[in-house]
Amino acid sequence: MTSNFRPLPFLAAARAEPIAGLRLQHLRRAAQEAREAFVAEGPVAAVATCDLITFPYPAQFAFSGAALSPVPYVMMTNRMQVVQFRAGGMLRTLLFNPSDYERGYAAPFYRSLRERYGAFVADKMMSTRHGTVEGHLAALGLKPEDVDYLAFDHLHVQDVRRWLGGAGASAYFPRARLLVQRAEWEAVKHLHPMQTVWYVPDGTAGVPEDRIELLEGDVWLGPGAAILATPGHTLGNMSLAVATGKEVFVVSENGVATESYTPLQSAIPGMRSFAEHMGLEVVLNGNTREHSLDQYSSMVVEKLFAGPSAVEESFVNFHPSSLLTASLMAPGVSPTVVLPAPHFGDIRPAAARRAA
């Protein structure tokens, strides 16, 4: 079963260029042209941002070694977006990054962290739980059957079996399908040793095939909502793009802070000097380095597609799915600015599914 989403224009042709430097040049122009077409169709129906959990992450990865940190970890807050858009005369609901973080602890990196520090320190002192997917949806007036689609920017530390069913378990979301890039879905089935530490073992095992919708690049979900293919951080990385009445924002984990896209504006020690010395426009979240040239180019696409923030014009309207968070556990590595979390319109329950 497929939804026949439209492709976003311009970007696929630019990605076809085989030479990385020329590809980046083509992508700069394509991102601006695609953004104009995207905005012209009007805003999304509604979006809400929900904090899930604050967790530790290696400082050396967060800014590819650029940040000068006295501690081994920074703190990041994983967030979910609830997006409603109109398609086929209906109001559709997408959950972007609905992390089942209880099961995410099974990823080898975080499993070994708990073994090293103990469950109490890892779960209580190094982590803060803000809410669950189920709790946030209930607070928004949504039921599991109201959800049409799930999507993640990538499948690091994700276990989707509780949501979609698998290995004999029933699905929490009875109607939802997972939107995932084909490259990401195929990679998680056959992991390379350098990838394994970040993936939950068997986190996708047994999920019924009819609950999966494989994407091939950028897709236009409906007015004001799109998925951008942004490979690099992982082979099938993708980003959420949403247009509101006044601006466009982009969500992914290619960067851990909006200043990852404007490092010369960063007050984090080491960031500006690193970017100046290396001649970098963006600073990668670099825990896997599957394709660093592509990740850099993808971040440029995100930067141009989002445009400047309406509240902090010198910063890009990029909202990390896992946001760098000020913490006493990570002194000296706090975000220079924190943009207001994306909220727009009113999330509506199933009774209002049929759109005018």
Angle CA 23–27–31, to nearest 5: 175
CB atoms within 10 A of CB 220: 21
| Ramachandran bin of 106, using left for φ above 0, alpha for ψ from -120 to 50, beta for the remaining angles | alpha
Structure tokens at 307: 């445009």
> For residue range 278-319, what is the model confidence (pLDDT) as tens digits?
999 999 999 887 899 999 999 999 999 999 999 999 999 999
Pairing of strands 238-243, 248-252: antiparallel
**Residue ranges in the chain modelled with pLDDT below 50:** 1, 355-356
Instruction: Provide DSSP, 218-248.
Output: -EEEETTEEEEE-TTSSTT-EEEEEE-SS-E
- Proportion of the chain above pLDDT 70, given as a percent: 97
pLDDT at 64: 94
Q: What are the phi and psi torsion angles at 115 (to 5°)?
A: -65, -35
Give yes or no for a contact between 75 and 55, defined as CB atoms under 8 angstroms apart: yes
CB atoms within 10 A of CB 95: 24
> For residue range 231-248, what is the model confidence (pLDDT) as tens digits?
999 999 999 999 998 899
Domains of the chain: 11-345 (3.60.15.10)
In one letter, which amino acid is 302?
E
Cα–Cα distance measured from residue 206 to residue 292, given in angstroms and rounded to the nearest whole number? 31
